[in-house]
Structure 1
Amino acid sequence: MYAERVLSGMRPTGRLHIGHYHGALKNWVRLQNEMPCLFFVADWHALTTAYDGVEIIEQSVWEMVIDWLAAGVDPNQSTIFIQSRVPEHAELHLLLSMMCPLGWLERVPTYKDQQEKLSEKDLATYGFLGYPLLQSADILLYRASHVPVGEDQVPHIELTREIARRFNHLYGREPGFEDKAKEAVKKLGGKRGKLYEQLRTRFQQEGDKEALEQGKALLDESQSLSMGDRERLFGYLEGSGKVILAEPEAKLTEASRVVGLDGQKMSKSYNNTIFMREDPEVLTKKIRTMPTDPARVRRTDAGDPARCPVWQFHVVYSDDATREWVDKGCRTAGIGCLECKQPIIDAVIKEQEPFHERAQQYLDDPALVRSVLADGCERARKLAQETMRDVRDAMGLSYS
């Protein structure tokens, strides 16, 4: 099968806050050390809900990518690119739209949910209905094996898997598929070819899943096969056709546990954020003025950490000893709210020091950001073009 590869993206919303860091970027930095990663700016996706406010998109792209780099996403390890700079995203989206049932898009949970949340906008558009299919095209274009998502995004990955299966079913049986597959079996050699046929029979006649896995392992180990023959034999083994678009797996990520300054979800629309590269003085003021347990009207009043937004920051940023000190001090009025907040201030400032340091070179020379993205777009486009060559061949569109 295709190599393991991670794909993830974000809509350009400008400067990122610490909720983005703990909810996504921290995970990206870890993943880039484990397998090849592609991270993209989903600027076309931004148009699905902000088609009437396009003037903010460009500046938002640069600000967001600098935050990615500040967090530790490494352009030498990961491919960082902009969706709209790889036009194959649009081509694959268009071709998939020809065979995607309308009902599959209408049943995506976020479709109606977003329409209700953004009721002030007219989202009865072709683009908004089709954005889950554009997401599928984003993933399938790079034959991504893993897509890091939160639980609310799992239905999107399931849709993508269904799209891949439907595409492979419709177009994976090229003319003369069985004859070509039988010729490919011969290239395995006598002994391995015979074993392959036995495993294929066991799976297709008896439903033996272990035989299927053994057959896939046999193909993975075979060095004598071209990529085309390998994919043909995977399809022949499963009783389908050539696997053109790979089915991705959802890689579940923990939701960010960082709440906003007011205890709600951290969001720029709520004006309750701490940005990833916050000025230390501004950061200090934001945390010092956070609301606390309403029962602590006076310094001498005892409080309950469970009712205090500051405690949620201690859960993320403090060690056990500090949390024990806070819990006891709050309940007995042994410490004041400003004392309680100081360890948070210190911890967030310390966390952000490397962010400021990494970002500075890109702020000093914006051409560096453009260079990172130009290189990333070139690498991404090569992968995208390989996929589209196979897609066009399968759909009979490679004539000239």
Structure 2
Amino acid sequence: MRRLSFHGKTQVNRPTILTGDRTTGPLHIGHYAGSLSNRLRYQDSHEQFLLLADTQALTDNARDPEKVRRSVMEVALDYLAVGIDPSRTTICLQSHLPALAELSVLYLNFVTVARLERNPTIKDEIRARGFGRDIPAGFLCYPAAQAADITAFKATVVPVGDDQAPLIEQSNEIVRRINATAGRDVLPEARAIIPKAGRLPGIDGKAKMSKSGGNAIALSASPEKVRNAVKAMFTDPNHLRVEDPGCVEGNVVFTYLDAFDPEQDGLAELKAQYQRGGLGDGKIKARLEAILQELIAPIRMRRSQLSEDREYVLEVIREGTERARERTEATKRDVVNALGLFQL
């Protein structure tokens, strides 16, 4: 079994970054475009903690804990397959970091229910899931839990989509209240990094690519699944003949080409030709399929190899979680001491 060596843990003066994913299933190319590619770059410039967010996944999957449990390994495999290096990035399991839950309980005393309900991200997610007034308490309280995740690592940088930015602001509100109560700066505020590329739509043209929506391309997808997904992609419904002018905006194939095509100059020419007419959907789909096949093939191969050495993947999670536990417990002690709670 390979042993891990955290070469980056003694380096100083690097900003701390906290990011992660809910463990609700394998990751897809939307994750790669929106976050994973950036995490690969951050490994050298930041002290990076990558959270397998299984506790958060339970906030709307409590009736299917087996899916959440099973997905821990799936997401970890995807992290390692895309090139996340456990000697430079700490991969850790949320449910095995008790300080996160303890800080969440403390932080709930520094935020009101009304403020939680006003959070735009939470409002949108409640509406999307059709909770009505039957909102799981854990889901409503998620902003406080995320504040605990961020501050427990004393992260100063958090990469999120623009729809998640209100959660970072609410975390900073809690930080300011903790610091004001303590009379000194116990916790740092965090800055949101929002990627230039927006969230990729699903292959069906819907606003959000999701694991549960059946409109995503998994990073572990077979060549056939990639091919079939690209063939099924939404383009311009009014582009009925090759000679017809086509619309680029809202065309999922071009949205994906914007995100993944390394030849952006050539892509600009392709867009112009499509808008003039004379370019069929089949050609742009063939271009996209070739790009995605090239992207996914090495990830799929590495993932297959790693899945044969599951003890190594478990060791990555165990060692990363142990290191994260040390960091988060130290932060919890700082907060408890700063608030002047009774000490035994």
TM-score by length of 1: 0.75
Question: Cα deviation per residue 1:125-155 (whole Å; 9 max; x = unaligned)?
Answer: 3322211101111111111111112222222
The verdict on how the C-alpha distance between 1:309 and 1:106 changes in structure 2, with shifts beyond 3 A counting, is closer
Instruction: Indicate the residue corresponding to 1:368 in structure 2.
Output: 312
Q: Distance in 2 between matches of 1:2 and 1:170?
A: 28
Question: Are residues 1:315 and 2:286 paired?
Answer: no
Higher-Rg structure is 1
Aligned residues: 330
Report what 1:76 is aligned to: 87
Deviation of 1:75 after TM superposition, in Å, equals 0.7
Is the 8 Å Cα contact of residues 40 and 83 (structure 1) preserved in structure 2? yes
Q: Distance in 2 between matches of 1:111 and 1:329?
A: 39
Q: What is aligned with 1:8? A: 19
1:270 equivalenced with 2:213 (yes/no): yes
Residue of structure 2 equivalent to 1:324? 269
1:10 touches 1:41 (CA, 8 Å); kept in 2? yes
Instruction: Report the Cα distance in structure 1 between the residues aligned to 2:29 and 2:62, rounded to whole angstroms.
Output: 27
Larger mean Cα displacement after TM superposition, 269-278 or 19-28: 269-278
What is aligned with 2:77?
66
Q: Deviations over 1:30-57 (max 9, x none)?
A: 1112110001011111122222222210
Residue aligned with 1:33, SS: helix
Question: Paired residue for 1:387, among 321, 328, 331?
Answer: 331
Amino acid of the structure 2 residue aligned with 1:321: G
- Hey, what's the Cα distance between the residues in 2 that align with 1:8 and 1:143? 12
Partner of 2:224: 281
Alignment of 1:241-252 (within 5 A): 241=184, 243-252=185-194
Say if 2:136 is the partner of 1:125: yes
Distance in 1 between residues matched to 2:60 and 2:22, nearest whole Å:
11
Match of 2:65, as an amino acid? V
Q: How is 1:162-173 mapped onto 2 (pairs within 5 angstroms)?
A: 162-172=173-183
2:166 aligned to 130, 155, 162, which one?
155
Give the AA of the match of 1:153. Answer: Q
Distance in structure 1 (CA, Å) of the matches to 2:146 and 2:213: 27
- Larger deviation, residues 298-307 vs 66-75: 298-307
Q: Retained in 1: the 8 A contact 2:33–2:259? A: no
Question: SS state of the match for residue 245, structure 1?
Answer: coil
Amino-acid identity (%): 36
Letter in 2 for 1:348: L
Map of 1:359 onto structure 2 = 303
SS of 2:110 mapped into structure 1 = coil
Judging changes above 3 Å, is the alpha-carbon distance between structure 1 residues 328 and 142 closer, same or farther for their aligned structure 2 residues?
A: same
- Mapped to 1, the partners of 2:296 and 2:153 lie a distance apart of 33
Mind listing any 5+ residue stretches in structure 1 that lack a counterpart? 173-240
Q: Normalised by the size of structure 2, how large is the TM-score?
A: 0.87
Counterpart contact for 2:161–2:198, Cα < 8 Å: no
How far does the alpha carbon of each residue in 1:92-116 deviate from its partner, in whole angstroms, 9 at most, with x for none? 1112223334443232122332222
1:2: Cα distance to partner? 8.7
Q: Which residue of 1 aligns with 2:145?
A: 134
Change (3 A) 1:155 1:295: closer
Partner of 2:30: 19
Aligned counterpart, 2:109: 98
Question: Which residue in the other structure is 2:54 paired with?
Answer: 43
- Alpha carbons of 1:154 and 1:259: their partners in 2 closer, same or farther (altered >3 Å)? closer
> Is contact 1:70–1:355 with CA below 8 Å preserved after alignment?
yes
Aligned amino acid, residue 305 of structure 2? Q
Give the direction of change, closer, same or farther, for the CA distance of 1:257–1:139 in structure 2 (3 Å limit). closer
1:3 and 1:145 in contact (8 A); partners too:
no
Relative distance call for 1:380 and 1:338 in structure 2 (3 A) is same
Q: Unpaired segments of 5 or more residues in structure 2?
A: 1-11
Structure 1 residue aligned with 2:3: none
Paired letter, 1:262: D
Q: How far does residue 398 in structure 1 lie from its aligned partner after superposition? A: 5.8
CA RMSD of aligned residues (A): 2.5
- CA–CA distance in structure 2, aligned partners of residues 112 and 316 of structure 1: 28
